[in-house]
Amino acid sequence: RKEVEQDPGPFNVPEGATVAFNCTYSNSASQSFFWYRQDCRKEPKLLMSVYSSGNEDGRFTAQLNRASQYISLLIRDSKLSDSATYLCAVTSNTGGFKTIFGAGTRLFVKA
């Protein structure tokens, strides 16, 4: 079983739709959680950290469920420019303080 798993998609949604991604992790000692966005042929860029209480940044909402060991990302009112691959990332202090990335979920937003 992979340490961090995501549905690879692709998710095809119309503009204005709400879309949600989930990401599960296996290490219960994980400490920090993130969502990254990666455009085609570009490097990943930090989208937002995920806090235990949940957090929101404009149209984006991230949540953490430690009991079930998953994080989620909700995108409201999707824009064409949201089309990208979304990577979840989990940091733990097991075997060194390092971050494991999911393989990413592809999102296509269509007009």
Partner 1 sequence: DVKVTQSSRYLVKRTGEKVFLECVQDMDHENMFWYRQDPGLGLRLIYFSYDVKMKEKGDIPEGYSVSREKKERFSLILESASTNQTSMYLCASSKTGEGYGYTFGSGTRLTVV
Residues that bind partner 1 (CB under 8 A): 31-32, 34, 36, 42-46, 49, 87, 89, 91, 96-104
Estimate to the nearest angstrom the gap between the alpha carbon of 51 and the chain centroid.
Answer: 13
Beta carbon of residue 111, minimum distance to partner 1 (angstroms, whole number): 27
Virtual torsion, Cα 15, 48, 55, 9, nearest 10 deg: 50
Q: Report the residue number, 34 or 78, with the smaller CB distance to partner 1.
A: 34
Instruction: Write down the least CB distance from residue 14 to partner 1, Å.
Output: 27
Task: Using the minimum distance from each CB to partner 1, give the nearer residue, 69 or 99.
Answer: 99
- For the CB of residue 92, give the shortest distance to partner 1 in the complex, in Å: 11
Give the integer Cα–Cα distance in Å for 69 and 50: 13
Pairing status of strand 11-14 against strand 105-110: parallel
